[in-house]
Amino acid sequence: MPSPIRIAVVIPCRDDAHMLDACLTALAAQTRPADLVLVVDNASTDDSADVARRHGVELAEQPRVGIWPAAATGYDLVRDRADVIARIDADSRPHPDWIARIERAFLADPGLGVLTGGAQFYDVDPVRAYLGAHWYIGGGRFWVKAWLGIPLVFGSNFAMRTAIWERVRTEVRRDDARVHDDLDLTIHLRASDGVRWDRDLRMPVSARPITSVRALARRVWRVVPTFAASWPRGRFRAAVREDQPPEPWGEPDDLAPHYGR
C-alpha cells in the first residue's frame, strides 16, 4: 500500500565521493525506501557526481560553495514532490529503519513540523565518540533549547514538513557559507512549528569535526556569525561585515569545503 506521505532525502556533497558511496548504499537498504533521493554536488573536484549517478539517484549542482547554498538548493528542488524533506550529509550512514521512523513520527503526529535526532560518531575511539555525541552535539542541543526554547536541528539527521521550508526559505541566510545552516534554520523556527528531538533517531556520522582542535574550534566559532546574522531575526546582522572572514582559523575558502574536515 502506498504511503500517505512522500519523503525526499537531500544530501549536500562536496568532495566526499567515498563517503557518499557508503551513504547511498545505506539509503538503498532502508526498510521504507525514500520516494526521492537528491544529491546536490557542491562544486566537487572528485567523482562525487559519478557516485550519485551510479546509484541511480537524482543529481543537482550548486556552484556556490557552502553547505547552506547546497542544502537550500536541494530543498527547493524537492519541495513540490515531497510532503517531508529529510536531510543527511554525505558522511551519514543511516540505520535501515531511519526513514521508517521518520514516516511513523509524522503520521502519528499532525502537529509535528520538524523531527531531529542525535549522532553516533564512527572512525574514532569510544571516549571521543561519547564526548562528541553527548558534549558536542548534546551540549549544542542543551544550550539552544535554553536560548530559543526549541531543540537544535541537527543538520546530519533531521526531517521537516515541506510547509516549514516554504515559510522560512526566504528568511534564512541560505547564501551565506559562514553560518551553520542547521543553527540558522533553528533560529528561524517557532515553537508552534512542532520541533521535536527523538533520542532514538540516531545517525552514524564521521568523527572528522572532533578529531582535531582546529576542526572543532572552527565549527564552534561559526556559532558567533550565525547568531550575529540571524538572531533575533537579523537584529545583529550589521555586526558581521560581508567582507570580513568570520573565523581566526584558516583561509576563507576553508569555511565550507569538505563540510567539517
Listing DSSP states for 6-20 in one string gives -EEEEEEESS-HHHH
pLDDT interval class at 62 (50, 70, 90): very high
Residue 181 exposure: Cα atoms within 13 Å on the Cβ side? 28
DSSP state of 39: E
Residue 159, classed as helix, strand or coil, is strand
Range in 16-20, 53-57, 114-118, 128-132 the model is least confident about: 128-132
Please state the CATH superfamily assignment of the domain spanning residues 7-237 in this structure.
Answer: Spore Coat Polysaccharide Biosynthesis Protein SpsA; Chain A (3.90.550.10)
What span, in angstroms and rounded, lies between the C-alpha atoms of 17 and 176? 24
pLDDT for residue 122: 77
pLDDT digits (tens, 9 = 90+) for 83-127: 999 999 999 999 999 999 999 999 999 999 999 998 876 765 665
Strand locations in the chain (E)? 7-13, 36-41, 58-61, 84-87, 114-122, 158-161, 195-206
Q: pTM value?
A: 0.79
Percent of the chain with pLDDT over 70: 69
